[in-house]
Amino acid sequence: MGIEGNKSLDFLSVFLTGIPGLEAQHGWLSIPFFIMYIVAIVGNSLILAVVQGDSALHEPMYLFLSMLAVTEVGVSVSTLPTVMGILWFDARRVDFDGCLAQMFFIHTFSCMESGVLLAMSYDRFVAIYNPLRYTAILTPPRIISMGLGITLKSVAFMAPLPVLLRQLPYCHINVLSHSYCLHSDLIQLPCADTKLNSILGLAIVLATFGLDSLLIVVSYVLILSTVLGIASGEGQRKALNTCVSHICAVLVYYVPMIGVSVMHRAAKHASPLVHTVMSSIYLFVPPVLNPIIYSIKTRPIRQGIVTLFSCKKERT
């Protein structure tokens, strides 16, 4: 029996939750959240504009960075309507199909971000292991193919989730515990057996985020062994320096994800506020910090942003 078969509960909409215990301060809390959205969307858009506008940056490292920026804009735009709608207008009610769509886009863009971070680790390995053939190995067509592969893989893995959820009967209270729709939340609502959905969700996590993180670790083991084979200490430092921004991006992405996973399993009875804060860090911090990290640590990006603003100032 699907949604249409439920007579006891009108499940055409769900209700989202703001920040537990701080509902009276939503107006003030909207300010830092809005600033984070602005920083994330504008910062990543600037990186895209700089890379696109400078032919000298049409190199593998910067093309992968552009892909990362696209996924982070996608994650931010996916959560923005409901988060700011709650904080500004107390708009908690969301159409159920719209909630499923938001869930799909959040998880798909997150999966794409993980895949791009893996591709970037491979990029760093090739650059250090075989610098003379770096651009010959990672050609633009090959990079585009990798980007399409990451996108198709993410869509293929995440598409079954909303489809399966749409088929289940719902008879519980239709209130979610976040300001946005996540699979871990929605899977708690059906009054039918959700074992298949839970197993599928776990399998997807292991096949995407789990495998990606494992391969990133393998990449850095290979990178470290290559760096240790460099004769000069200066050469070793220069080689490792090219990885600093990516290592920071990986830590910013995976540490909050691990924290959220641990909270869901080991601290189920913790305060709802703690769960909300951890989930918010996982979704909001990487899109905010990554453009800042790459702007500070990557000179061509920093110079490109300065040039971009200088050109706009001259035109005005």
Mean pLDDT, rounded, of the chain: 90
pLDDT band at 7 (very low <50, low <70, confident <90, very high): very low
* Mean pLDDT confidence for 179-198: 89
What single DSSP character describes residue 207? I
pTM: 0.93
Interacting residues of 63 by C-beta distance below 8 A, sequence separation 6+? 51, 140, 143
Exposed / middle / buried, residue 128 (Cβ in 10 Å: 0-12, 13-18, 19+): buried
d(CA 98, CA 129): 46
311 burial type by CB count under 10 A (0-12 exposed, 13-18 middle, 19+ buried): exposed
pLDDT at 233: 87
143 in helix, strand or coil?
A: helix
- What is the average per-residue pLDDT within 282-307? 93
Cα gap 140→265, rounded to integer Å:
42
pLDDT band at 309 (very low <50, low <70, confident <90, very high): confident
pLDDT (average), residues 11-33:
89
- pLDDT tier for residue 167 given thresholds of 50, 70 and 90: confident
Query: Which has more confidence, 66 or 271?
Result: 66
pLDDT at 9: 41
Return the ∠ at Cα 165 (arms to 161 and 167), rounded to 5°. 125
Strand runs (DSSP E) across the chain, as ranges?
13-15, 93-95
At 253, the pLDDT band (50, 70, 90 cuts) reads very high
Q: What percent of the chain has pLDDT over 70?
A: 92
CA distances from 158 to 13, 54, 105, 162, 215 (A): 21, 34, 9, 8, 21
